[in-house]
Structure 1
């Protein structure tokens, strides 16, 4: 239904509806965190939602879970970032899965430990 106050008010209502949906979705993710391995959830000022997938009990590793989701989710996009050195001195690559959530920019991510890329390149 169109508001008598014009498109500006309608746009504001749409944004509020999206924000409410984002909060409900975040609440659902937090409730399932112990099952799915959801760690930190951050929301940027632009509304981008980043969900850190962490190890949980007997579940497959976070990288394996993200790859499995990617294989079964046609619209999802998998991105493997360049290797970085972690604070512990180990090397890892960040794996990001952009998931299709209408109205949101949502990314599931984790680190995957890898061998030192400099040693691999010299071998």
Structure 2
């Protein structure tokens, strides 16, 4: 399957697919003419990568997770659970930071609204 076909099948741009390949997330063989040739199984892999990016994971974390996700359950070592727990903690900390920033902005907005009122 050529890169354009993979992109169409997975709903992803060829630019994204090149990025995924550069970062080791997907792989292809090269034809004698130098064209990328992807196995049909890459469609499911690209869809999984898209879901993981949508969850806020980095390409480095996704690269660590993919072998765990593709391994049969009896061969999993717990690495995936650790990585996912770390990502949940990172996102929860980010949410706390955003909530704190929102509280500060709301307080500032309330204070400036009061300054403009006549006594």
TM-score, with length taken from structure 2: 0.28
Greater percentage in strand: 1
Compare CA radii of gyration and give the structure with the larger one: 2
TM-score w.r.t. structure 1 length?
0.27
Greater share of helix: 2
